[in-house]
Amino acid sequence: MTISDQDILFLGGCVREAAQAEIMPRFRNLGAADISEKTSAIDVVTQADLLAEHRITAALKERFPSALVVGEEAYETDRSVVPALADADLAFVIDPVDGTFNFAAGLPVFGTMLAVTVKGETVAGIIHDPVLGDTVTAIKGAGAFLTRQDGQSSRLRVAEPAALNQMVGGISWGHMDDPDRSRISANMAKIRMTFAFNCSAYEYWMVASGKLHFIGHAKLMPWDHLAGVLAHQEAGGHTAKFDGTPYRPGETTGGIISAPDRESWQMIRREIVGI
C-alpha cells in the first residue's frame, strides 16, 4: 500500500478541519462537565479530544475503509489495536489533542498528531498546531517541512551537535518511577537549559526544527511518537530506544531518545539517562 501526494493533502485537511470545528471552539471554553480524569488529575480527556478523534476517524474510514485506525481515546475500549500496528497493511494513528492537560488549563501548547504506517513502518506524519495554524509534515525519504498558516513552507533541520553543557533539551522524567526519576532529573543540571512542555507534539516540533538538541521519553504510546520520530529522522536526526534499537509501530516500552546524531544520542544516554 502506498500513500500518494493527494492522500497527504487529504490527511492534512482532515487534521485542520477537526481543529477548526472541534478543538479551537472549545479552547478556554471548557466547563467542568467537559473534562474527565483518565488515570490521574494530570491525565485527562476533554470533549475536544473525543469529538476531534471521532471526526478524523470518520473521514479516514470513508476514504480508506480497510485501514486500521488507532485513536488514543478509542484505545481505551480496544487495546488490541496497538499491537496490530506491527503488521497492518495500512494504519492511521491519531492523537486528537496531544497535551490535553495544557489544553484543559488554557495553555496554547498542544497539537494534533497523525501518523501513517504500512506493514510496521511509519511512512508519513503530520503535527498540527491548532492555535497558530501551522503544520509539520514528514514523508519517509522526502524530508520534513513546516508549512505556516499563510502557506509559506520551509524544510526542517535538526540542531548541530554541541557539547553537553551547551545543549538545550528535555527528558520527560515526570512519567518515570524512582530510581530513574531522581537520577535523570538530577542529571538534567548538566545541560545549559531544560524544558518540559508536557506535549509530545511541541517537543518533536522543537527538536525537528533545531530549537532543542534532544528530547527523551520512557512511555512509548504510538500516538505520542510515530509522527514526531519520523519528522525528527527526516530532519536529519537520530532517534532510538534506550537500548539502541529502532522504535517501531506497535512498541510501547523501552524508552526513547531523539538527538542530532548518533554520537549525541550516545552522550545523552550515558550522561543524562545514565544507562
Beta strands in 110-187 (DSSP E): 111-118, 121-128, 135-139, 143-147, 153-155, 168-171
* Residue 98 in marked binding region: yes
Q: How far apart are the first and last CA of the chain?
A: 39
* Residue 53 in marked binding region: no
* Residue 95 in marked binding region: yes
d(CA 229, CA 247): 8
d(CA 150, CA 16): 13
Backbone angles phi, psi at 127, to 5 degrees: -125, 115
Beta strands in 176-246 (DSSP E): 193-194, 214-217, 238-241
d(CA 249, CA 127): 17
- Indicate the annotated binding residues: 72, 95, 98, 224
- Indicate the annotated binding residues for Mg(2+): 72, 95, 98, 224
